[in-house]
């Protein structure tokens, strides 16, 4: 499965060109133009330091990413809004403290008042006074499979979101723009569901053991071989939980005396794993290669902090697609840096596996690179495969080491059989080995949907973050009241979205995050876009 | 009906590229919509005010407190300006006109003495 870069480039070439013929505009943007630019640079500046020129040579197609700056007026108004809400938060805290108002929070008992405080009151200030007021936008109970459309349970709150009651009504066919259902495998009909139910009948649902004891099923071995073939690596190992894959395996690989260089906006699982390992952690600016190179050079030159001994290992932790920004990692440059400075690369493809690349093999396939260059390829099966769990792929020695030393293998329950079967079926579908072209159709549909959605929203003047090819589309909202209002207005018009605010994002950059899926039809995307347009009259999302 | 207004919006959008201030963009977005009457427009303005100041998320009694305070402050500003601004403007005009009148007299005196 491992081809050299030259033949991979050829494959990538032809695929890009055919896609370009099919659709107009946007995707597969002028590959010829890119080559022309490369040639021009080669002739015009032969004696240049080669830093900038070689960087453009690494990319086979244009890398268009945009993070528009917050307009000044919007930033000022956002801070003002937060200030007003903080003042009212203090007022409500005062009323609660002086018993003028019923307190719904956890409180210590009267006898414990002189003890060390159990509940750190000020840390929860934001939760009590801001999050609670708009809490009905999150944790909405779902009654059906979270496909392109879903059913939600209707809730009402008599006391402003402190408690909820179900009315008994069901909101049917809400367009689902929040589930990570990139290839549409979250469905309860079709081959995946049928094979998963057959597997349940044979193996049951519970595994009742860890991987090292009696929890190693032949389905796991089959899945591991299949995943290794899918990714193009020598060997792979699967785990029951995606979060645990990161947080339990990084400590097995890193220890004190090692250096971890992690991106600013890495996921909590990566941060937790890095902290648990005990290694030194240094953070570089998001997707910024100059910052990363500076850190690498400092590590080479100065070594460990006090002793100046060389670092035992240097690991670069990045993600394929960052889910809050929608940006794609600059993988060619990172691999060039890694080879130059002899560091290791850990790539977390939670959102990008199955969603990027002409064959759906993730961000490595998207850039047309060699999977052998990435030392540890990690990913989850939660997003594109419609299941749960994670995997780590790499060289055989690495995976054999992890089988013995990973905390997850020793202590955590292994993957459940029907889920394993779901992943096997969906992976075979994406690879085209089940005899149908369904996988390839879904991949094309996802990339078309992504391009169309992003293009339309951009044309209307909304501020969208991230790369033009990423299926995660954050739409900036900025002001605290708009977070709650947007979520509610969208639900009134039968669209379910995820809105995100502080602390998942910086305080003024709150956003609504759309996840485009291959299961969405053009009509559904048009409905969402038109609703956005209609709501923009009310919300003014910083429209230019 | 909705498609017609969307097409009209796109046409208007092409015209209004480059609009910067929020007041002008608010006026344009009103033109884009079907604002049937003044009442609906005022309602839309109030909704914008609720969203921008963040009052939208508060309970009704908190909104009333904030509105009362803001209204009181604005009323005080208007009253103060009504009482004091004419006097200040008159005094300032007198000061500047005296300065201007004083200047040509002194230059005329200089020329005559030469």
- pLDDT digits 0-9 by tens, A369-425: 999 999 999 999 999 998 999 999 999 999 999 999 999 989 999 999 999 999 999
pLDDT given at position A21: 39
Question: Is there a contact between A248 and A408 (Cβ–Cβ < 8 Å)?
Answer: yes
Using a CB-CB cut-off of 8 Å, the residues of chain A touching B6 are 530, 533
The C-alpha of B38 sits at a distance from chain A's nearest C-alpha, in angstroms, of: 16
Using a CB-CB cut-off of 8 Å, the residues of chain A touching B66 are 84, 88
Rounded Cα–Cα distance for residues A140 and A430 (Å): 31
- Cα A510–Cα A512–Cα A514 angle in degrees, nearest 5: 145
**Interface contact flag, B54 A530, Cβ < 8 Å:** no
Q: Give the pLDDT confidence of A298-322 residue by residue, as tens digits.
A: 999 999 999 999 999 999 999 999 9
SS3 A157: coil
Give the tokens for residue A186. 């979250």
SS3 B43: helix
A280, A282, A283, A287: CA torsion to nearest 10: -110
The answer, for B49 touching chain A at a CB cutoff of 8 Å, is no
- Which residues 102-121 of A have a C-beta within 8 angstroms of B? none
Residue of B nearest to A532 (CA): B6
- Cα A236 to Cα A227, A364, A397, A399, B73: the distances in Å are 7, 16, 10, 6, 67
Smallest CA-to-CA distance from A231 within A427, A367, A418, A435 is with A427
Residue of A nearest to B19 (CA): A544
Residue of B nearest to A529 (CA): B6
Rounded Cα–Cα distance for residues A213 and B105 (Å): 108
Q: Burial-class residue A468 by CB neighbours within 10 Å (0-12, 13-18, 19+).
A: buried
- Which residues 5-44 of B have a C-beta within 8 angstroms of A? 6, 9, 13, 17, 22, 25-26, 29, 32-33, 44
The C-alpha of A192 sits at a distance from chain B's nearest C-alpha, in angstroms, of: 40
So where are chain B's domains?
A: 1-57, 58-114
Give the tokens for residue A171. 């909101």
The C-alpha of B40 sits at a distance from chain A's nearest C-alpha, in angstroms, of: 12
Give long-range contacts, CB 8 A cutoff, 24+ apart: A256-259. Answer: A257/A304, A257/A311, A257/A312, A258/A311, A258/A312, A258/A313, A258/A314, A258/A315, A259/A299, A259/A311, A259/A313, A259/A314, A259/A315
The answer, for A507 touching chain B at a CB cutoff of 8 Å, is no
Give long-range contacts, CB 8 A cutoff, 24+ apart: A18-23. Answer: A19/A358, A19/A444, A19/A447, A23/A448, A23/A451
pLDDT given at position B69: 96
- Cα A399 to Cα A124, A152, A224, A388, A468: the distances in Å are 42, 42, 11, 20, 34
pLDDT under 50: residue ranges of chain A: 1-51, 542-544
- Cα A442 to Cα A356, A430, A517: the distances in Å are 12, 8, 9
Q: What residues contact A482, with CB distance under 8 A and at least 6 apart?
A: A510, A539, A541, B51
The residues with which A316 forms a beta bridge, in sequence order, are A261, A345
Q: What residues contact A66, with CB distance under 8 A and at least 6 apart?
A: A464, A465, A466
Give the tokens for residue A115. 């003890």
pLDDT given at position B67: 95
pLDDT given at position B34: 58
Give the tokens for residue A540. 């003014």
pLDDT given at position B35: 61
**Residue A467 parent element (H or E):** strand A466-467
Rounded Cα–Cα distance for residues A522 and B11 (Å): 23
Rounded Cα–Cα distance for residues B102 and B100 (Å): 5
**Interface contact flag, B6 A481, Cβ < 8 Å:** no
Sign of the torsion formed by the C-alpha atoms of A381, A491, A188 and A210: positive
Tokens 């921008």 belong to B52
Q: Give the pLDDT confidence of B13-66 residue by residue, as tens digits.
A: 443 333 344 555 555 655 655 567 888 889 888 999 999 999 999 999 999 999
Q: Burial-class residue A233 by CB neighbours within 10 Å (0-12, 13-18, 19+).
A: buried
A492-510 burial: b if 16+ Cβ within 10 Å, else e:
eeebbbbbbbbeebeebbb
**Residue A513 parent element (H or E):** strand A511-515
SS3 A261: strand
End-to-end CA distance of chain B: 82
Report how many Cβ contacts below 8 Å link chain A to chain B.
Answer: 65
């Amino acid at each position: 499965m491992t081809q050299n870069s030259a033949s991979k480039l050829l494959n990538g070439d032809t695929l890009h060109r055919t896609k370009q013929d099919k659709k107009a505009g946007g995707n597969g943007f002028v590959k010829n133009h890119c080559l022309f630019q490369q040639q021009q640079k080669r002739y015009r500046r032969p004696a240049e330091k080669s830093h900038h020129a070689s960087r453009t040579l690494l990319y086979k197609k244009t890398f268009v990413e945009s993070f528009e700056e917050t307009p000044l007026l919007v930033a000022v108004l956002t801070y003002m809004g937060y200030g007003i809400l903080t003042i009212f938060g203090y007022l409500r805290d005062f009323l609660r403290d002086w018993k003028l108002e019923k307190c719904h929070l956890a409180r210590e008992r009267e006898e414990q008042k002189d003890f060390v405080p159990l509940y750190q009151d000020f840390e929860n200030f934001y939760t009590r006074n801001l999050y609670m007021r708009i809490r009905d936008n999150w944790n909405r109970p779902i009654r059906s499979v979270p496909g392109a459309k879903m059913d939600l349970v209707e809730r009402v709150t008599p006391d402003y979101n402190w408690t909820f009651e179900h009315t008994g009504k069901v909101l049917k066919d809400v367009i689902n723009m929040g589930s990570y259902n990139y290839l549409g495998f979250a469905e309860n009909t079709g081959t995946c569901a049928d094979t998963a139910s057959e597997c349940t009948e044979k193996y049951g649902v519970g595994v009742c053991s860890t991987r090292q004891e009696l929890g190693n099923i032949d389905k796991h071995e089959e899945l591991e071989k299949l995943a290794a073939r899918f990714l193009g690596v020598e060997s792979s190992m699967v785990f029951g939980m995606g979060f645990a894959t990161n947080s339990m395996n990084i400590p097995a690989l890193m220890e004190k005396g090692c250096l971890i260089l992690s991106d600013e906006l890495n996921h909590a699982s990566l941060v937790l794993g890095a902290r648990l390992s005990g290694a030194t952690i240094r953070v570089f600016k998001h997707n910024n290669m100059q910052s990363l190179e500076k850190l690498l050079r400092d590590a080479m030159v100065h070594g460990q902090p006090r002793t100046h001994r060389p670092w035992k290992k240097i690991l670069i932790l990045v993600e394929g697609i960052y889910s809050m920004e929608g940006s794609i990692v600059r993988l060619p440059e990172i691999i060039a840096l890694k080879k130059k400075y002899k560091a290791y690369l850990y790539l977390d493809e939670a959102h990008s596996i199955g969603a990027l690349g002409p064959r759906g093999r993730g961000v490595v396939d998207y850039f047309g690179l060699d999977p052998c260059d990435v030392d540890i390829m990690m990913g989850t099966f939660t997003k594109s495969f419609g299941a749960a769990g994670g995997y780590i792929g790499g060289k055989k020695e690495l995976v054999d080491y992890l089988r013995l030393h990973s905390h997850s293998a020793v202590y955590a329950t292994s993957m459940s059989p029907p889920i394993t079967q779901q992943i096997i079926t969906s992976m075979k579908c994406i690879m085209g080995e089940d005899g149908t072209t369904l996988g390839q159709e879904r991949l094309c549909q996802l990339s078309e949907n992504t391009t169309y959605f992003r293009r339309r929203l951009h044309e209307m003047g909304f501020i969208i973050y991230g790369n033009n090819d990423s299926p995660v589309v954050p739409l900036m909202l900025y002001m605290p009241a708009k977070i709650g209002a947007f979520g509610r207005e969208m639900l009134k018009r039968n669209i379910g979205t995820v809105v995100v605010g502080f602390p998942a994002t910086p305080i003024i950059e709150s956003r609504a995050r759309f996840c485009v899926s291959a299961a969405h039809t053009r009509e559904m995307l048009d409905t969402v876009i038109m609703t956005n347009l209609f709501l923009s009259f009310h919300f003014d999302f910083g429209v230019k | 009906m909705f498609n017609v207004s969307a097409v009209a919006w796109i046409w208007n959008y092409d015209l209004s590229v480059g609009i910067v201030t929020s007041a002008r963009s608010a006026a344009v977005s009103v033109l884009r919509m079907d604002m049937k009457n003044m009442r609906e427009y005022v309602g839309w303005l109030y909704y914008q005010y609720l969203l921008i100041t963040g009052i939208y998320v508060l309970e009704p009694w908190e909104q009333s407190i904030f509105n009362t305070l803001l209204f009181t402050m604005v009323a005080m500003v208007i009253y103060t300006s009504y009482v004091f601004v004419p006097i200040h403007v008159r005094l300032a005009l007198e000061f500047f006109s005296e300065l201007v009148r004083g200047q040509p007299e002194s230059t005329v005196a200089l020329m005559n003495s030469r």
